[in-house]
Chains A and B, each alone.
Chain A
Amino acid sequence: GAVVSQHPSWVICKSGTSVKIECRSLDFQATTMFWYRQFPKQSLMLMATSNEGSKATYEQGVEKDKFLINHASLTLSTLTVTSAHPEDSSFYICSALMTGQLYEQYFGPGTRLTVT
């Protein structure tokens, strides 16, 4: 149980285009999901907290107009990287909190984004 999926697992896009990454909780409901960014051999950087039915809360320094987050249902959150540039290339990981719990995040497998 408590499986989180991400789609796609990897994507290559051209500079200036937009890319959408999906995060789904497959067997539980998640009121809250988190989006992280990870550079090679580095720790996870929290980008934003995604709450079902409300606006996402972005961490300081994260451009909300560039990284659009939508959490339209209790099992799906999406991250759209708009007007992508090569510096947006990274590994993006989502996680989900089971509704009613505040202890354990369940992580997706990650999405490798390469912007050319």
Chain B
Amino acid sequence: AQSVAQPEDQVNVAEGNPLTVKCTYSVSGNPYLFWYVQYPNRGLQFLLKYITGDNLVKGSYGFEAEFNKSQTSFHLKKPSALVSDSALYFCAVRHSSNTGKLIFGQGTTLQVKP
């Protein structure tokens, strides 16, 4: 069965420090992976995706993610965190049914303190 795991409910980091939000996945076949961010009472905003190609994917707002096939991971990273990055982050993988459905992780709250 396909699944996505975000092992940390919350990540705390000081402003200016690098941040990492972890994601591991389990899929059959090639994974199509996504990161979304959600601010309170808002919908999801797309950050980046991995379909194929370079393992390091660059996305919006200075975020990037590294696809690691051997470790089945797709961790989200940013070199220097901003207080405004504080939000709920979701990792997702496309369902193998080819219907476009996504399977979401449970979400990780990122708290960036000044």
B99 interface contact, C-beta 8 A: yes
* Residue of A with least CB distance to B34: A104
Given contacts A41-B109, A43-B105, A43-B106, contact A102 B98 (CB under 8 A): yes
Question: Which of A14-22, A60-68, A74-82, A105-113 lies at the interface with chain B?
Answer: A105-113
CB distance from B70 to the nearest CB of A (A): 24
* Residue of A with least CB distance to B6: A43
* Interchain CB contact under 8 A, A44 and B90: yes
* Residues from chain B with Cβ under 8 Å of A102 in the complex: 94, 98-100
The 8 A CB mask of B79-97 against A (1 = contact, 0 = none) is 0000000001010001000
Within 8 A of A (CB), among B51-89: 51, 88
Question: Number of contacts between A and B (CB, 8 Å)?
Answer: 60
Cβ-defined partner of A32 (8 Å) among B42, B51, B99 = B99
* Interchain CB contact under 8 A, A107 and B90: no
**Most interface-central of A95, A97, A102, A105 (chain B CB within 10 A):** A105
* Interchain CB contact under 8 A, B36 and A107: yes
A28 interface contact, C-beta 8 A: no
A-B contact pairs, 24 of them (CB 8 A): A4-B43, A32-B100, A34-B102, A41-B88, A41-B107, A41-B109, A42-B106, A42-B107, A43-B90, A44-B90, A49-B101, A57-B99, A91-B41, A95-B44, A97-B100, A102-B98, A102-B100, A103-B94, A104-B46, A104-B49, A105-B100, A106-B46, A107-B44, A108-B43
